[in-house]
Amino acid sequence: MLAGDRVLSCAMTGKGPLMGGLQVFNTNGAARRLGCTRTWIHKLVAAGKLKAYVYDEAGVLVPHQPERKRQGQGLYFVVEDLEQYESSLLRRAKGGKGEDG
């Protein structure tokens, strides 16, 4: 599990980008995995429902800070964060708010 303020470094391996043994997706990959659009991914990040990471000036992957807007900067997502969001969607679909029962 990742801590919110922990600085993360990224290493490339033969199996794709891994970050300390964790798989990382860009916005396109995250959208494909969740079955939504890139725009929706950005909306989830802006709403604080999905954690995103960015590369800083030194080339280190760090948590995205919404208050520091940098147009055109790529967002990256850890597979565990995507899975956590997916599981929250499944829980909501099975027994959402306002359902009698």
CA atoms of 2 and 64, how far apart (whole Å): 14
11-60 pLDDT, tens per residue? 443 334 545 567 899 999 999 999 999 999 999 999 999 999 998 888 88
pLDDT of residue 53: 94
pLDDT of residue 34: 93
Whole-structure pTM value: 0.67
Which of residues 31 and 96 earns the better pLDDT score?
Answer: 31
Distances (CA, A) of 48 to 34, 45, 78: 16, 5, 15
pLDDT of residue 15: 38
52-94 pLDDT, tens per residue? 999 888 888 899 987 777 677 799 999 999 999 988 877 766 6
pLDDT of residue 32: 95
**Cβ partners under 8 Å of residue 53, min gap 6:** 8, 24, 61, 62, 63, 64, 75, 76, 77, 78
Laid out side by side, the sheet with 16-19 consists of 11-13, 16-19, 22-26, 76-78, 53-55, 61-63
pLDDT of residue 80: 92
